[in-house]
Amino acid sequence: MERSKNVKVVKLTCKEQYQRLLNRDSETYGIKSGHVILKPSDNIGRHATGEYEEVIIILKGKAELKLTGKKISKVGYNTVLYIPPQTYHDIKNIGAGILEYIFITSKVI
């Protein structure tokens, strides 16, 4: 199937927990991304990256990152995290305000 090579523009409008930004339905080649907002003490839930690698960009707040078999990392805004394929992880808001981040995943070839 031939895909459009148009530039995509998506406005961050998430006021709640989740906004899908890009995926194959929006005619990307394989990148998926989303905008996440978590209230204090909320977490995204433990999940695995599977055959995808993931980048998380913290825009606002303080987060606790739990990785299977690794220490817990505490990070703040203006931080970029890399999660390798086949990695279970969870992100929790440990701040007093909202935690806001963007995630981007891409299938490992």
Q: pLDDT confidence of 31, banded at 50, 70, 90?
A: confident
pLDDT of residue 56: 94
pLDDT value of position 16: 67
What would the mean pLDDT of 53-76 be, rounded to a whole number?
Answer: 89
Residue with the two structure tokens 């394989």: 30
Widest CA span of the chain, in angstroms?
47
- The predicted pLDDT at position 12 comes to 72
Quick check: 1 pLDDT over 50?
no
Q: What integer pLDDT is reported at residue 72 of this predicted model?
A: 79
User: What is the enclosing helix (H) or strand (E) of 49?
Assistant: none
Is residue 108 a contact partner of residue 53, using CB atoms and an 8 Å limit? yes
Domains and CATH numbers, the chain: 18-107 (2.60.120.10)
Mean pLDDT score across all residues of the chain: 84
